[in-house]
Amino acid sequence: MHAAEREKLIITALQSTGFVSYRDLEARIEASPATIRRDLAKLDARGEIVRVRGGAKMPEDDDSGEPSRLTGTPFADALTINTVAKAAIGEAAAKLCKPGDGLMIDGGTTTFQMCPFLEGLRLQVLTNSLPIVEALLKQDGTRVLVPSGTVFREQNIILAPAGEESMPRFHAPRLLMGAGAISVHGVLQADAIHVASQRRFLERAEEVVVLADSSKFAKCSGTIVCSLDDVDVILTDDGIDDDMAASIRAAGVDLRIV
Ranges assigned E (strand) in 45-123? 50-52, 55-57, 102-105
Architecture field, domain 75-257 = 3-Layer(aba) Sandwich (3.40)
Does residue 65 contact residue 50 with C-beta atoms inside 8 Å? no
Rounded CA-CA distance 89/100 in Å is 21
Task: Determine the pLDDT at residue 45.
Answer: 82
3-state secondary structure (DSSP) of residue 144: strand
Radius of gyration of the chain, Cα coordinates, nearest whole angstrom: 19
pLDDT tens readout for residues 127-185: 999 999 999 999 999 999 998 888 888 889 998 765 556 666 777 889 999 999 999 99
- Dmax over CA atoms of the chain, in Å, equals 62
pLDDT along the chain (258 residues), means of 10: 86 75 87 90 84 78 51 84 96 96 95 96 96 96 91 86 63 90 91 83 92 90 88 97 96 97
Label residue 124 exposed, middle or buried (CB < 10 Å: 0-12, 13-18, 19+): middle
Does residue 77 contact residue 154 with C-beta atoms inside 8 Å? no
Rounded CA-CA distance 101/206 in Å is 13
Distances (CA, A) of 6 to 11, 28, 32, 44, 50: 9, 9, 11, 14, 16
Phi-psi label, residue 252: left if phi above 0, alpha if psi -120 to 50, beta otherwise: left
Task: Determine the pLDDT at residue 161.
Answer: 60
pTM score of the predicted model: 0.74
Task: Determine the pLDDT at residue 66.
Answer: 46
Rounded CA-CA distance 112/90 in Å is 7
Rounded CA-CA distance 151/146 in Å is 11
Rounded CA-CA distance 41/55 in Å is 11
Task: Determine the pLDDT at residue 164.
Answer: 55
Span 3-57: which CATH code? 1.10.10.10
Q: Give residue limits of the domains in the chain.
A: 3-57, 75-257
